Amino acid sequence: MLNKYSISTSGPQKTTIALKQADLIILTRPTDEEIQQLCQTFNLNKFSFRYRSSPEEVSRFHRTTSDVLDNPFFLVVYDYISSFKHIEKQLVPSLIIFDSDHLIICTDSEDSCKNITNSNYSNLSEILFNYISQCQYKIMDVLVSYKKTN
C-alpha cells in the first residue's frame, strides 16, 4: 500500500497530492506496480527494491541517484514484526530514501509506520530519526528477551 503525507505543525497528514509533492511517502508491503510508480516518479533504480521483503537484504547507507530528488541517500535498517512465527520472517528490511524535502519508507511493518503517521512529528528529520530509533529499539528488546531465556 502506498500512502502520501504532507508534514504540518501537528504531524503527518494524509494527502491526495501528486506523489512528487508529498513530503512523506510510506509503502507498506507494496505491490510491484506501486514500486514501479515510485521509481518512475522519482527516477529511482527499481533494483534497489528487489529484496524489499527478503532476509537477504543487507543494512547499508549510501548516496543514490535521481534526477528528481536532490542529492538523495539510501538507507536500509531492520525492523521486527512479532506476529510472524519464524525469525526469518520477523526481521524485515526497511528501505529508506531521503533528501531535504522527501522521506520515502518501504517496509512490511505496518505497526512502525502507524506509529510515525499517528505522531505529531513536524519535520522530516524528526520523523526519520524516530522511525530508525523505533526499529532499533524493537530489535534490541527482542534480543534482550532472548538472552534472558537462555
Condensed to tens digits (0 to 9), the pLDDT of residues 23-71 reads 999 999 999 999 999 999 999 998 889 878 887 788 899 999 999 999 9
Q: How far is it between the farthest Cα atoms of the chain?
A: 51
Q: pTM for the complete prediction?
A: 0.91
State the pLDDT at residue 129: 95
pLDDT band at 147 (very low <50, low <70, confident <90, very high): low
Could you give the CA distance from residue 30 to residue 10 in angstroms, rounded to a whole number?
27
Residue 143 has pLDDT above 60, yes or no: yes
Residues in the chain: 150
Report how many domains make up the chain.
Answer: 1
Could you give the CA distance from residue 34 to residue 80 in angstroms, rounded to a whole number?
23
The per-residue pLDDT for range 81-122, each reduced to its tens digit, is: 877 777 667 888 999 999 999 999 999 888 888 888 999 999
Domain that holds residue 61: 2-149
State the pLDDT at residue 130: 93
Average pLDDT over residues 10-31: 95
| H runs (alpha helix) in the chain | 32-42, 87-90, 110-117, 124-149
Check which CATH number belongs to the domain holding 103 and give it.
Answer: 3.30.460.20
Rg for the chain, CA atoms, rounded? 15
State the pLDDT at residue 148: 65
